[in-house]
Amino acid sequence: MDNPKTRKEVGLRLKYARLKKKMTQAEVAEKADLNTNYYACIERGEVNASLEKLESILKVLGIKSSKILPF
């Protein structure tokens, strides 16, 4: 996800999924074993998260990668 546009799109989809689950960023971050600020950066598309971290977030949110990856 080197493309900033792709990172932003993934972040927006994660945010939507999180809000749909009525979870805070802190709750998702804690359950995914991530720093809250780092998770917030992922949602804003500011950082290039590893696949391992994304998988952890997806597991917490209970969604498949096909729901967030725009390709």
Residue 69 is assigned to a structural domain of this protein: no
Tell me which DSSP letter residue 17 carries.
Answer: H
Q: What is the structure's pLDDT at 66?
A: 83
User: Structural domain of residue 60, as residue ranges?
Assistant: 4-64
| For range 18-29, the mean pLDDT | 98
Residue 70 lies in a domain: no
Number of folded domains in the chain? 1
Q: Is residue 47 part of a domain?
A: yes
71 located within any domain: no
The Cβ-side half-sphere exposure at 43, using a 13 Å CA radius, reads 20
User: Tell me, what CATH number does 38's domain have?
Assistant: 1.10.260.40
Q: Which of 10, 24, 26 is nearest to 58 (CA)?
A: 10
> Is residue 54 in a domain?
yes
Q: Give the pLDDT band (50/70/90) at residue 65.
A: confident
**What's the confidence (pLDDT) of residue 2?**
73
